Amino acid sequence: MSDRRTLLRVEHLRKVYESATGDVEAIGDISFTMDAGELICVVGPSGCGKTTLLKCLAGLLRPTSGVVEMDGAPVTGPSPAMAVVFQEYGRSLYPWLTVRGNVELPLRHKKLTRAARSRLVVDALEAVGLAHAARSHPWQLSGGMQQRVAIARAIAYQPDVLIMDEPFAAVDAQTRADLEDLVRELHASRSISVVFVTHDIDESVYLGQRVLVLSTSPTWVQEDLAIDLPPERDQITTRALPRFTQLRTHVYDQIQRAKRGQAVAP
Amino acid sequence: MTAYTGRIAATRRGRTVGSRIAAGLAYPLGLPILLLVLWGVVATRATSTFFPDPLTIAEAFRQTWVGPAFVEDVLPSLTRLGLGIAASIVVGIAAGTVIGLTQWLRDLLEPLLEFLRAIPPPVLIPVAMLLLGITDTMKVVVIVSGAVWPILLNTIEGVRGTDSVMKETARSFQVSWWERLWFLVLPAASPRIMAGVRQALSVALILMVISEMFASSSGLGYRIAYFQRNYLIAEMWSGILLLGLVGVFLAVAFGLVERRVLRWYHGIREVNRV
């Protein structure tokens, strides 16, 4: 994390869904930047357009106005510099492919030798602790393991930014804690930048170096909060720190204010 | 001593395997055998010449179908059936995929397809005869004209129903068009496609027979119709028996392919049931 170059720049992003029954303004005006190597969590009240924001970042949705820039170049569509981990792992992994086949699929169009491709797949599966399950099918695995496969698929793709959309919302609490530590570990060991969208306040504070608190729809960034917890974190001691409690209470208050509509637009 | 106990164990194991196979066969074969016996009893007592007993039919079966008739009648029929099924599958999946992926094409074609599907294919036989003559091509075309619809319509539905998150995943990873077709669209539609193929098989068998009954000088359908007209009752029944056997063979072959192609699909259903 020595270089502090800006990797992702979002400026005055606005997204309006047009429909026959009337336009819905999902995102009002979002601006923020992310440095290379950062881990940012995005939290907000439910229905605040978190997923919309993420799809705009990933190039899956065209913003109505505003700019998303990746490494100085505007994002106009999906790019090899980004990989998405979706919330619904059951619908994001292909059940007819093995774990290995799923991780390998996005690599097929990259100009790689068979051996290089295979190395990436094995390495990614080892990184998420699933080397032994390469020949299984996703539906033979537990929910937590399936989400690990999705994470392996994303890191094998070797993106600069990992974009995660409430990835652990559907797994049980203990699995979730393990997966959170896995994300922190991958972030630290592979110098991947991560944008992590969640509705879980504790999760955002535990994981993030920064937390962006979003307002209700039409959305803007209500607060950009630096998380000054030590870089070495673990589930028991970090969550027991007084500072952790202060931060989570602060974020919680912010979201309550957002829900009541008391927050002020910038 | 040890050799002796070893042999006991072997025979015992052999017996359990044998009895298991016997039990496995008893259920599927029990009722057909019972019906055959019943038929034999009724047929020997009845005076009607239209219902010969099973042994007479078995003898007629051997005389009629084993030998040159197999090459002259059965093989051409099976060849046309095979070609018709293969063409239906290729045309149905190819056209179904294109239509399923293209919204405007779907809107354009759907009413027309519903109309065409509703036409009973046998009425097309005179038309096909007129256009194509009394040829093998005509019979294959008749088979395809009926068997292609379940495959085509199921493929359209299956392709259209591809999960939105799966599509978005492919898009976000910039999976190429061909890879998307091969690794996403077709596998996702495969349960529907296989359901269509299953229906198509029985339709194809029916149309094979009918197309041969109308205008032909060879084939199973032609033979059976010939036996009927000439009051060769036992031979006629043996032909019907052979058709039934062809149908069973198709179903078994389909089952084997389906289990292989849809292993993941049945696997998921089993996991969900537990």
B163 touches chain A (CB under 8 A): yes
Residues A66-116 have pLDDT tens digits of 999 999 899 999 999 999 999 888 899 999 999 999 999 999 988 889 999
Same domain, B110 and B12: no
From the list A84, A94, A137, which residue is nearest B184 (CB)?
A94
Residue A57 is predicted with a pLDDT of 93
Residues A150-190 have pLDDT tens digits of 999 999 999 999 999 999 988 888 899 999 999 999 999 98
Number of domains within chain B = 2
What's the mean pLDDT in A206-210? 94
What residues make up the domain containing B215? 54-273
Same domain, B36 and B67: no
B contacts of A91 (beta carbons < 8 Å): 163, 165-166
Yes or no, beta carbons of B169 and A95 under 8 Å apart: no
pLDDT at residue B4 tops 60: no
Same domain, B27 and B148: no
pLDDT band at A122 (very low <50, low <70, confident <90, very high): very high
Nearest CA in chain A to B187: A96
Same domain, B41 and B65: no
Q: Which of B173, B263, B274 to mutate against chain A (most A CBs within 10 Å)?
A: B173
Residue B24 is predicted with a pLDDT of 78
More confident residue, A191 or B195: B195
pLDDT at residue A137 tops 70: yes
Check if the beta carbon of residue B147 is closer than 8 Å to that of residue B84: yes
Residue A148 is predicted with a pLDDT of 95
pLDDT at residue B9 tops 60: no
Nearest CA in chain B to A159: B173
Same domain, B39 and B155: no
A contacts of B179 (beta carbons < 8 Å): 105, 108-109
Residue A136 is predicted with a pLDDT of 95
Whole-number Å distance between alpha carbons of A195 and A37: 10
Residue A262 is predicted with a pLDDT of 67
CATH code of residue B264? 1.10.3720.10
In the stretch 170-229 of chain B, residues with CB closer than 8 A to chain A read: 171-176, 179, 183-184, 187-188, 190
pTM score: 0.85
Q: Collapsing DSSP states into helix, strand and coil, what is residue A131?
A: helix
Same domain, B27 and B58: no
Same domain, B180 and B120: yes
pLDDT band at A265 (very low <50, low <70, confident <90, very high): low
Same domain, B38 and B58: no
* Distance to chain A for B186, nearest Cα, Å: 11
Q: How would you classify the pairing of strands A24-35 and A219-226?
A: parallel
Query: What value of ipTM does the predicted structure carry?
Result: 0.89
Same domain, B41 and B139: no
Q: In which region does residue B219 sit, left (phi positive, over 0), alpha (psi from -120 to 50) or beta (all else)?
A: left
What's the mean pLDDT in B112-120? 89
Mean pLDDT of the residues in chain B: 87
Same domain, B28 and B95: no
Residue A114 is predicted with a pLDDT of 92
Dihedral sign of CA atoms A120, A126, A130, A131 in order: positive
Q: Kindly list the domain boundaries of chain A, sorted by start residue.
A: 92-158
Nearest CA in chain B to A137: B264
More confident residue, A75 or B21: A75
Yes or no, beta carbons of B165 and A140 under 8 Å apart: no
Nearest CA in chain A to B263: A96
B264 touches chain A (CB under 8 A): yes
